[in-house]
Structure 1
Amino acid sequence: MSRLTFSIANNAVTHLGRNLYSTTPPALAELVANSYDAYATEVNIVLSNDAISIIDNGKGLDFQEFESKYARIGSTKQREEPFNGLAERKPMGKKGIGKLAAFSLGSTYTVYSKTRDTDRWLGFTLQYQDMINSETYPVEVEETDLPEKFAAYSRYQSGFIVDITDIRRKITVATRENIKIQLSRRFYINQAKSSFLLKVDGEELKLDSNSYYDKLQYMVYLGYENEEILREKFPNVILEEYQQIDTIKKYFCSQNIKGWIGTTYKPKDLKNNEGSSFANIIILANGKIADEDILKSKPNARIANNYIVGEIEADEFIEKLNDPITSSRQGLDDSISEVEELINYLDSVRKYVIERWDDMRQNHAIANLPERIKNNPSYKDWLESLTDPQKKINNKLLDLLSSKLDDEISVDATAVDSMVTSISSVINNIEADDLIASFDKESDAEVQFDLLFKLMDNISKTEDLNHSNLIRKRLSAIEELERLMSETNTPEKLFERHLSDNPWLIMPYWNIDRNIIDETDYLKNQRYFRLDMDENNFRKNFLDILIRVAEETYPIIVELKKNTAVGYAKVGFTDIYNQITNYRRAMIQKIPDLIDVKEKDIKVIFILSEDTGLPGKGHSIELNDSEIKMLEDQNISLLKYNKILAEAKKMYREHLKYQREAKIIPDLSIDCE
């Protein structure tokens, strides 16, 4: 047994270990980088609920190397001689602080190390709590055999194991998958040439490709002598060498920096199962991430930014910088002028990629629509009627819609149809504004006369379009009523809400706009009136809908029962008459304007299940002719849901036919050919 003393100063264990890594993958990446620098050809990461272990078959360290290298925190990393006949590897680490990443993962870790010159392993344990307040920290190093859980690695002639316990973050199934994805992206190593294998729980990770590679659509590259190198890796991607600004192109060549910025088909192509996004541009140095998001100081709110990813290799550039890594260990220090210059140039390249992305998306905007829309005959006819400027506007607006459709959040088909048809309204209005502007600028009378005719024609189209939009909204309301009727368990409250939002369904001339009218007037839901009975007795009355219209002298009561004739919805003549009588009397008592009004002067519409009819016809709710007549004599009209639906459809059938024939707006209700 020998004593090894760690040299620690200025709370280095906390600042350079515990607080340096906010998540598990970057901390693991530091430990894997140490294994790579030690010329390991195989690294195994084993994850469990109580431990994280990193095992490699690299050179290992003997006691003297522990003293001169491992125990000196923050000293410049010493060059390692090639091992196992491997070519020289440029070191991923520089400051010798990666070892402290283990304290970001757990509070205790045990090291096992073996070199080819020793028969047994050396082992010692470090405790975070014991190290945080010390400038020196002695530990006992002893020769040992590997614990049983590492028995499979006893065959290694040399190697290094870090076994982390008292782990800080729970390892779930989702965490495991995220670690694999993140580690794959944190390294770019040609595994065939470097003879380097990384496994997580026995699964080999690819370190020369990423999960989004086969989802890339378009790519701008810099610093490569030719595109064939990229063509082998990205055979189906549209490749373009950056040529826009010569200064930028020459800069990347002179600095020996190469890489690419590309776009994917959809934003979700750049997200993993935990929702983390790879929509950023990374900087790699000697095969390892040096910056997770180089343009984080240059935020871009464009939609295109959700589709953009990039990888830049800058080995020599970073090697020449003086301590380029920030204190967060997450990126390059942008206060260094050389780093700032790189950021500005990459931002310019990204802007160019966004411009090209915009052009490509707009040119293929119609192709990105759902099949049922782009193959719709009415939509095809409408597209053919557009002028070239209108087509350009249409493509630009459709591009915004396509971005929404690309999102992982599902969009209702009805909402998509509504957005597509609304675009036609926008196009027409824009054309009208352009005509008015041209009319004001033009002084030639003959040209003005021609513009005037075009403007009048456009106004006529706009009126037809507004009428068309109104009809479509009403058709949508009819479809919703039909849906509510078809569902046997629809609550009465939903019928009440829908009919109060669309009172014209009950009576065509009731056209109340609830959005602009004061709440105390015209339309109320569940209006409460207390009916005073004899001997201080009271009865509560909640009216489903109370409506005032210009065509009626007094407020109108609308009472609804749900469309299924069960429970309290199953009513008879007596139920209807008594309920309405109480409503009317309560209103007369509480509304001053009605104090001298006769009860039957207050109009009532009672809406019943469609399964209502004459006795002997098999209806669940039966009312005979005399009962219906008595209710009508009392100014109480009975209305069935199926009657409302039939009348509404009949009313708007001709409007719909006109719309389809005029082709003013695409009719997406027509079946595809």
Structure 2
Amino acid sequence: MEDQNKEPKKEEVLEMKFDPNTIEHLGVKMYSTLPPIIAEIVSNSYDAEAKKVDIILSDNKKNKSITITDNGHGMTFSEINSNFLRIGRNRRVDNNSQESKNKLRFVIGKKGIGKLSFFGISDRIEVLTVSEELENKFILDWNKIKNLGNDEEHYKPEIVHQDSKVSKPNGTSITLYNIERKTNFDPDSIAYSLAKSFQVFDEEEFDVTIFHNSLDNKTVIENKLIYKNINELKSWEFPIHKDRSPKTYYCEDVITGKIILSKETVPHNMKGVSLFSRNKLVNEYEFYDLSATSHGYSYLTGWLNVDYIDLFEKDVISTNRRSLNWETDETKELRSYLASVISSIYNESKKIKEQFKIKDFEDETGEPIDSWVEALPSHEKSLAKKMVTSIINSEGIDKSKSTELVKFVKDSFQFEAFKELASDIDSSDVKDVHKVLGLLKEWKHIEAREMYKIAQVRLEAIKKFKEHIDDDAKEVPTMHNFLKEFPWILDPRMMEFKDEITYSQLLKEKFGEVKLDEDDRRIDFLCLKFGQGHFIVELKRPGKIISAADLDQGMSYVSFLEAHINNEFGNKVFCYIIGKKLSSDPLAIKKANSYKQSNDVYFKSYADLLQDALSYHKEFIDKYEEFS
């Protein structure tokens, strides 16, 4: 008769039970990149009720390694065999519970094959775990697993020590050795990938930190990492449309989360909505049967939590957690709901983006987008409005480009040639942004050709101007008459101006007898009106060096003329003194800087005028050649 008081024999071996091909197919071949492998270990730590997880990346030595340590409840020797080394174990079925060991969390692991992922990048895995002050350490060797015979069923990991008595807190540490990787680890990239895989990093009692080669070089993982570069225009918080939500299972708010409308197009791999169940990714970004061919969908991203799918009788989560099984009645209902919601948000987002573009234009220009349209004759107003509407409504044109195009249309409507060109487009075609863009492109060619012709004429004038400088031509009448004919050499904006002969005469009468540092000198003034400004141009000979006294006299001209101008509308008087160069006298330099800052008197050399004119008009010719 067997002795009833005899203690049961203590386990002395560890065994991993599996079909030898399982690891090859579900481990090495399915997991070949770092982030999903680390994600599997983090998932185990979360289910083990860990409050802190440290991921230590080591690549400063020949053999790279990764150690992931948590302060979860650890494993006993028996639990290693029955839980960790048992491939395909569904902990929820075994424990008849959806909750973790101490019922602190809903578990997120399910299939029991995540541990096989380790062999996707490492051939030697060391596991050290402490539970109830007993420490166990063992090694999994991929090369030995591969060499198992065909009739071999059980792989026996190497036990380093068993049930060693220790005074350590509970927890588990897993180290992956011999990682074959040419490049160094990128902690930021890994943190970003983990943030895409889980929604648990903002929980109050779950902190995950990455350390790269030292404790000083650390990266804290947060949920917001995934959307930190998304410039949000508007967002929709869930639950919404509760009357159309899928059937309620165990949670009051069936679907939670957030869909975001970005101000710019989102990265390609983030277009659409991702799905999470129990804070773990179950479906990557997509639009769920929508024919999302419109460019406007490129501005939508976000995530939704569909925790209730974990309670389906049939498992609908794929092994790699990239996509759900959409062939069941429950998931078809979910897919239909998602498509309907995203479609509604897309339609709403079109109007929001249009208003955003309009506001951007008005903020940049300081005027309502239609103000210039309303000032046009009635037959032109309709055409201009349709062109602006076409640009604003186009989903393929972002806000900065739409503002640029609307401003271009506004400026182009000043030219009869443009209006004639635009009127040739059928009214229905104006609604087509491609026709509008084609028109603008054609007009740019025409405009460039016209500017090219103007530039050619002006280059001839610039050439003549250089000859006058080289010959040290007299200020009167040579330079006076030349700059009066070609005032754009003084300022490229001066296409048209009013010659203020009266003011020129007033200055000559007032200052005709002024004696400065030059003998036998005639004072000459060229007074121009451009916009709201009056420009006094006092010409010196091309060889004249400008002194402090010349600058002071310029300020006298400004003061005198301002007293004789009706300044009811805030007209400003500027004085340009043109000569060879500014004196090196410190007083002259100080006065030149002071008068320039007060926006009253400016010194310009003939050499500067020549160089500026060449540079300005070269741009027109270069632009035309670019179009050609």
TM-score range, shorter chain: 0.5 to 0.7
Aligned counterpart, 2:145: 130
Which secondary structure state, in structure 2, belongs to the residue aligned with residue 395 of structure 1?
A: helix
1:255–1:317: 8 Å Cα contact kept in structure 2?
no
State the shift of 1:55 in Å. 0.9
Residues 357, 48 of structure 1: alpha-carbon distance in 2 compared, 3 angstrom cutoff: same
| Distance in 1 (alpha carbons) for counterparts of 2:143 and 2:412 | 62
2:362–2:369: 8 Å Cα contact kept in structure 1?
no
State the shift of 1:394 in Å. 1.8
State the shift of 1:123 in Å. 2.4
Aligned counterpart, 1:178: 189
- Kindly indicate whether residue 411 of structure 2 is the aligned counterpart of residue 397 of structure 1: no
Which secondary structure state, in structure 2, belongs to the residue aligned with residue 368 of structure 1?
A: helix
Residues 382, 294 of structure 1: alpha-carbon distance in 2 compared, 3 angstrom cutoff: closer
| Distance in 1 (alpha carbons) for counterparts of 2:76 and 2:36 | 27
1:161-200 counterparts in 2 under 5 A?
161-170=173-182, 172=184, 175-189=186-200, 191-193=202-204, 195-200=205-210
Aligned counterpart, 1:472: 447
TM-score by length of 1: 0.53
Which secondary structure state, in structure 2, belongs to the residue aligned with residue 109 of structure 1?
A: strand
Aligned counterpart, 1:221: 237
1:280–1:309: 8 Å Cα contact kept in structure 2?
yes
Aligned counterpart, 1:314: 306
State the shift of 1:30 in Å. 1.4
Which secondary structure state, in structure 2, belongs to the residue aligned with residue 59 of structure 1?
A: coil
Residues 61, 467 of structure 1: alpha-carbon distance in 2 compared, 3 angstrom cutoff: closer
2:68–2:173: 8 Å Cα contact kept in structure 1?
yes
Aligned counterpart, 2:339: 347
Once the two structures are superposed, what CA deviation does each residue of 1:395-422 show, in whole Å capped at 9, x if it has no partner? 342354874466xxxx899999768879
- Kindly indicate whether residue 160 of structure 2 is the aligned counterpart of residue 142 of structure 1: yes
Aligned counterpart in structure 1 of residue 67 of structure 2, from 48, 53, 61: 53
Q: Size of the alignment, in residue pairs?
A: 424
| Distance in 1 (alpha carbons) for counterparts of 2:199 and 2:104 | 16
| Distance in 2 (alpha carbons) for counterparts of 1:294 and 1:466 | 36
Once the two structures are superposed, what CA deviation does each residue of 1:292-337 show, in whole Å capped at 9, x if it has no partner? 2253665622222222112111112232252212244322112233
| Distance in 2 (alpha carbons) for counterparts of 1:34 and 1:107 | 20
| Distance in 1 (alpha carbons) for counterparts of 2:442 and 2:188 | 54
2:136–2:161: 8 Å Cα contact kept in structure 1?
yes
TM-score by length of 2: 0.57
Residues 106, 345 of structure 1: alpha-carbon distance in 2 compared, 3 angstrom cutoff: same
Once the two structures are superposed, what CA deviation does each residue of 1:568-607 show, in whole Å capped at 9, x if it has no partner? xxxxxxxxxxxxxxxxxxxxxxxxxxxxxxxxxxxxxxxx
Residues 20, 470 of structure 1: alpha-carbon distance in 2 compared, 3 angstrom cutoff: closer
- Kindly indicate whether residue 220 of structure 2 is the aligned counterpart of residue 204 of structure 1: yes
2:295–2:396: 8 Å Cα contact kept in structure 1?
no
1:484-523 counterparts in 2 under 5 A?
none
- Kindly indicate whether residue 25 of structure 2 is the aligned counterpart of residue 15 of structure 1: yes
1:221–1:242: 8 Å Cα contact kept in structure 2?
no
- Kindly indicate whether residue 284 of structure 2 is the aligned counterpart of residue 292 of structure 1: yes
Residues 188, 467 of structure 1: alpha-carbon distance in 2 compared, 3 angstrom cutoff: closer
Residues 4, 370 of structure 1: alpha-carbon distance in 2 compared, 3 angstrom cutoff: farther
| Distance in 2 (alpha carbons) for counterparts of 1:183 and 1:70 | 22
Residues 250, 127 of structure 1: alpha-carbon distance in 2 compared, 3 angstrom cutoff: closer
| Distance in 2 (alpha carbons) for counterparts of 1:115 and 1:80 | 22
Aligned counterpart, 1:96: 112
| Distance in 1 (alpha carbons) for counterparts of 2:346 and 2:81 | 52
State the shift of 1:135 in Å. 3.8
Aligned counterpart, 1:283: 275
| Distance in 2 (alpha carbons) for counterparts of 1:22 and 1:349 | 35
| Distance in 2 (alpha carbons) for counterparts of 1:110 and 1:2 | 18
State the shift of 1:41 in Å. 0.8
Letter of the 2:264 partner, please give it.
Answer: K
Aligned counterpart in structure 2 of residue 265 of structure 1, from 263, 266, 269: 263
Residues 97, 367 of structure 1: alpha-carbon distance in 2 compared, 3 angstrom cutoff: same
Once the two structures are superposed, what CA deviation does each residue of 1:212-263 show, in whole Å capped at 9, x if it has no partner? 387322223332xxxxxxxxxxxxxxxxx448xx535887998822233221
1:368–1:402: 8 Å Cα contact kept in structure 2?
no
| Distance in 1 (alpha carbons) for counterparts of 2:158 and 2:103 | 35
| Distance in 1 (alpha carbons) for counterparts of 2:99 and 2:354 | 55
| Distance in 2 (alpha carbons) for counterparts of 1:38 and 1:180 | 21
1:567-606 counterparts in 2 under 5 A?
none
| Distance in 2 (alpha carbons) for counterparts of 1:255 and 1:321 | 20
Question: Which runs of 5 or more structure 2 residues have no equivalent in the other structure?
Answer: 1-10, 212-217, 431-438, 461-609, 621-628
State the shift of 1:280 in Å. 2.8
Aligned counterpart in structure 2 of residue 381 of structure 1, from 363, 372, 375: 372
